Amino acid sequence: PITPGELLCLGSSIAFSGLFYYLYRKKARVVTRIQEAPKLQVDDDLPALVSAADGRCLSYVALEGIVLPAKAALSSHYHEEMQGVIQKLLLKEHRLIWNSLARSW
């Protein structure tokens, strides 16, 4: 006979397994979309391509081209021939909504 404690453990184990499998599949789909992303060159045609896209946004594309640093390129301490740049990110919040429960914007 199976005890209620064993049933509880079995049920929670199945529930957790299902949850983790769902999260795994969700992330695997994102990884697949990133790997299948179209490769675009940074050239004069790119602004026209972006403005023609839905919502003026391209999701999951790989840009290939030459990047020029704003000031100076970063050099690797371990590999002298490797250089890199830092990408500047701009976060633009479009609207603020007052949350009366938390009393914050």
Q: Structural domain boundaries of the chain?
A: 4-84
Rounded Cα distance between 79 and 91, Å, is 32
Q: How far apart are CA 59 and CA 20, in angstroms?
A: 26
Whole-model pTM? 0.48
Q: pLDDT by residue (tens digit) across 16-66?
A: 999 999 999 999 998 998 888 888 888 888 888 888 888 888 877 888 888
Widest pairwise Cα distance in the chain: 73
